[in-house]
Amino acid sequence: MSASPAALTMEDLAARQLPVRCRAALDAGARMQFMYAWFPEGPDTPELRYVLHPGRGEPPHLWRCRPGKESPPSLAPSAPLLSWYERETTDLCGIAFTDQPLPQPLVLLPGARAARPPLLPGPAPQLSYTPSPHPLPELAGTAPEAIQLLPFGPVRADVLESTQLAFYYLGEAILHYHPQLFFKHRGMEKRFEGLPPALGTVLAERVSGVGGVAHALAYCHAVEAAAHCEVPRRAAWLRVLLGELERLYNHLHYLGHLCHTTTLKVGEAQGKYLEERAKQINTRVSGSRLLRGLLVPGGLRREPVLAGLAADIARLQSDFQIYAGQLAATNSHLDRLISTGVLGRRLAFDQGATGPVARASGLDRDPRRDQPHGAYAELPLRVAVRDGCDAHARQQVRIEEITNSILLIRAVLEGLPEGALCAECRPAPAGEGLGWAETPRGTAYYAVHLDAGGRLRRVKIKSPSFSNWRVFPYTVHDTNMMDYAINEASFGLTVAGCDR
C-alpha cells in the first residue's frame, strides 16, 4: 500500500550536501525518481523535496532541502533524469539551479510570460504570450546547407495532441530531433490548491484521461498516507481489479495503434476492436468506459458490478490469444519493429525511463512488486521484462502484461474477500503523504501537503509520460524518417501526461 510518513525515511540536507549525497546514492544502486519545490511558510521559504528508491522492497527515501535565498546546485550532471524536474521548478516556482546543463525554459515556451512564478502561493497568474520563434540547435559541419529542417506541428493530423517536432535530416536519415511540448497550460497542480482531499480525486482522474484509475489511486494513496488510513481489504482487492482493467484497454489500444504505423490494417482493426470490447466491459463494471467515479480516499465509493465479468474476461482472453499469435507470426509487422528505436539499458536508467519502456530495456522494475500498493502483495503478479531494447521488445512486454492482467483479474474474482468498501480518511491538518501506482505507461507519484484547515495546499504529480518523453529523443537521433512513427507509437506516449 502507500507509505505513511512514518514509514518513509526523511533526511534534511544542506544545499551543498546534495551533489555528494546524490553521487553516493547512485553508486550504491539507488535511483532518483523526481524532485519538486513547495513553499511551507510563504514565497520566501522554498523547500525542495527529492524522492529516490534505495532498492527493491525498500520504501522511497526523501531528502528535504531548505536553500533559503541560495541557488541550489543542479543534480542533473549526476542524475540526468532530474534535469527536466529542475527546469520545471525554475519555470513554475522561480528557483534557479546552479550548473544546470540545459538552463533554457522547459514549460514556459518562448514568448510566454507570467507576472510571477505560477506555483508560488496565492492566485494563479495570467499567462501572456507574444509569438516568438522556437530556438533550435545550430548546424555545424562541412556542408550544413545540405541538411534540411522539417518543423512538424504543433497542430498534427488526426486526433494527436499539440506538439511541435523538429527534424534535421539528410535524405531519410534523421541527424537530430527536437520535440517541443508544453503547449497546453492546464495548471493541474495549481487546481488542487484549496480543495478538500476527497474532491481532489476527481481532478486526479482527469490528469491523463487514459490513466485515470492509476492517477486517482496514487493520489488516494498519498492522502491515505497523510491520514494514516488503512484501506479495507476488499476495497484494496477491487482497486487491483480496476487498475488491471485499465491496463487491458490501454495495451489493446497500443497494439492496434502500433499496427496502424506498420500499415498492418487488419491488425489495427482487431486491436481496436478488442479495445472497444474491454471498454464495454468497463462500462458494465463501473458505469464509465474509463472507470471513473469509483475511487475515493479510504477505498471505493460503491461496489462495482462483477456479475458476468469472469465470462467476459474469458471471452476476451480467448480472442486476444489468437490476435497475439497472429502478430507474432506476421513478418511484415515484425520486420518494422525489430531494431527500431533502440533504447539501451544504461540510457533507460540514467534518463528516467519507466513502465513498459524501461522493462523492455532490461530494467526489472515494477512498484506493484517492488513497493507494493493495494493488494498486489497478496496476488500472483508476474513482471514482464525483455532485453531487446527496441520497438519489438516494447510490444512483447505489453502483450505479456495483457496476459498477466487477465490472470490478476481472475485471481481477484476468485479470492475477493468480504468486508467494508471504505474507511474514514481524514488527514491531519498540516499533514503530508506520498503515494504511487503503476499506470499502463509507468509509475505515477503524488506528493500531497495539507494546510492547517485540512485542505490541499500543494500537490505534486510525477506522471510517467513526463519521464518517457524525456527519454524518447535518444532513440530518434541517427535513425530514419520511415521508422519515426513506429518508434513513437512503440513508446505509448501521451502529451496530456506531460503537459499537466
How confident is the model over 50-66, as a mean pLDDT? 91
Measure the CA–CA gap between 398 and 247, rounded to whole angstroms: 9
- pLDDT tens for residues 108-143? 888 888 889 999 998 888 888 887 776 666 767 656
Mean pLDDT of 421-425: 95
pLDDT of residue 2 exceeding 60, the answer is: no
Sheet architecture: strand order including 47-53: 9-12, 61-65, 47-53, 31-38
Task: Pick 182 or 497 by higher pLDDT.
Answer: 182
Considering only 161-165, 285-289, 291-295, 316-320, which range has the smallest mean pLDDT?
161-165
pLDDT tier for residue 3 given thresholds of 50, 70 and 90: very low
pLDDT of residue 151: 87
pLDDT band at 184 (very low <50, low <70, confident <90, very high): confident
Residue whose C-alpha is closest to residue 349's, from 359, 341, 336 = 359
Q: To which H or E segment does residue 312 belong? A: helix 309-328
164 or 393, greater pLDDT: 393
| CA–CA dist 450, 429 (Å, integer) | 6
Return the pLDDT at 27. 95
Percentage with pLDDT > 70 across the chain: 97
Structure confidence at residue 30 as a pLDDT band (50, 70, 90): very high
* Greater model confidence, 213 or 180: 213
pTM above 0.75, yes or no: yes
State the pLDDT at residue 152. Answer: 87
Instruction: List, in order of start, the domains of the chain with CATH numbers.
Output: 9-124 (3.30.460.80), 188-464 (1.10.645.10)
**Mean pLDDT within 376-395:** 96
N- to C-terminal Cα separation, the chain: 25
Q: Give the range among 108-122, 334-348, 383-397 with minimum mean pLDDT.
A: 108-122
Question: How far is it, in rounded angstroms, from Cα 90 to Cα 69?
Answer: 14
Peptide bond into 154 cis (omega under 30): yes
Single-letter residue type at 178: H
Residue 4: is its pLDDT beyond 50? Answer: no
Chain mean pLDDT for the chain: 93
Could you please report the per-residue DSSP string of 221-255? Answer: HHHHHHHT----HHHHHHHHHHHHHHHHHHHHHHH
The per-residue pLDDT for 183 is 86
Is the pLDDT at 318 greater than 80? The verdict is yes
5 has pLDDT over 50: no
